[in-house]
Amino acid sequence: MKYSNPIFIGLLLVFSFNILNAQENTETSEAETSEQDTYHPFDFNLQVKNMHLWRGFRVTDAPMTGARVHYTSRNGKFDAGFWGGAGFNGDYTEIDYYVSYATNGFSIALWDINNYSNFPDAEIFDYDKSTTSHFVDLTIAYTFQQFPLKASWSTILLGRDTYVTESGGLENAYSNYIELSYNLLEKEHSTLNVSIAGTFSPRHDAHFYGSRTINNFAITYSKEVKLLKELSLPVSAMALWNADQKFASIQIAIDFF
């Protein structure tokens, strides 16, 4: 079966949250109005990395760029847009669609992730689990207010997260990725973060992320690098170990804007 509606259902759901939440901004003071005049609903960002690590995966070993085009609501709680990645050597290509909503430390995000690097004949709106290059991922997270701990739970709802049954059929594994992330150090222009993640499938021993429970352990240091007197760039270095896939790597990322 081929269909193109999962991300659009997500858009409708999160837009409804945004409409309800818009009432919070109907009454503003003159000072708030002046601040809101600088509001720009649409923006785009560019990031360059020496390689691309994601949830314990070494997505590409080649230098790559990541670009995001997105809409953000006036109160900053709702965000929706597109993210695309491309490797310098042409071996990696990805285009994702997402919607997210965040309030009071809680957040929910729905991503349609389409890394079609190894799918030369992929159809952009093909969601059949036997042929698709997509997988749709739902993440619920909470950032604690009293201490710098973030907990997130991600579940792949559909797409190329599958396993073969005893009868030879193909079924969705509904793989889960659970991560705890803690800031060991927080300064004005730098942060040291440590994270650990576990994975499992309720349907099968092997799943989208591998076969072991602990998927990865990472240490990330982020800081502002000053280039000129009034110009600085956010830079991060992440060291990651994956016991399941038996590798370790370091990713350097620079956010240009």
Domain count, the chain: 1
Task: Read off the pLDDT band of 231 (50, 70, 90).
Answer: confident
DSSP, collapsed to helix, strand or coil, labels residue 21 as helix
Task: Classify 124 in phi/psi space as left (phi over 0), alpha (psi -120 to 50) or beta.
Answer: alpha
228 confidence band (pLDDT: 50, 70, 90): confident
Asked if the model's pLDDT at residue 35 lies above 80, the reply is no
Tokens found for residue 14: 């999160």
Closest Cα to residue 87, out of 131, 43, 50, 133? 50
Burial of 225 (0-12, 13-18, 19+ CB in 10 A): exposed
| 27 within domain boundaries | yes
- Range with the lowest mean pLDDT among 17-21, 46-50, 85-89, 134-138? 17-21
**Inside any domain, residue 106:** yes
Classify residue 38: in a domain, yes or no: yes
Task: Give the CATH number for residue 28.
Answer: 2.40.160.40
* Mean of the per-residue pLDDT values of the chain: 89
The pair of structure tokens assigned to 202 is: 């309720």
Q: What is the pLDDT of residues 82-102, one digit of tens each?
A: 999 999 999 999 999 999 999
pLDDT above 90: residue 5: no
Q: Which amino acid, 183?
A: N
Tell me how far apart the alpha carbons of residues 74 and 68 are, in angstroms, rounded to a whole number.
Answer: 18
- Segments forming the whole domain that contains residue 183: 6-255
pTM for the full predicted model: 0.86
173 vs 16: CA distance, rounded Å: 30
Question: Would you say residue 1 lies in a domain?
Answer: no
Q: Is residue 150 part of a domain?
A: yes
Task: Establish if 14 belongs to a structural domain.
Answer: yes
Q: What percent of the chain has pLDDT over 90?
A: 75
Angle (CA) 181 62 127, round 5°: 70
Is residue 161 assigned to a domain? yes
Evaluate whether residue 84 is within a structural domain. Answer: yes
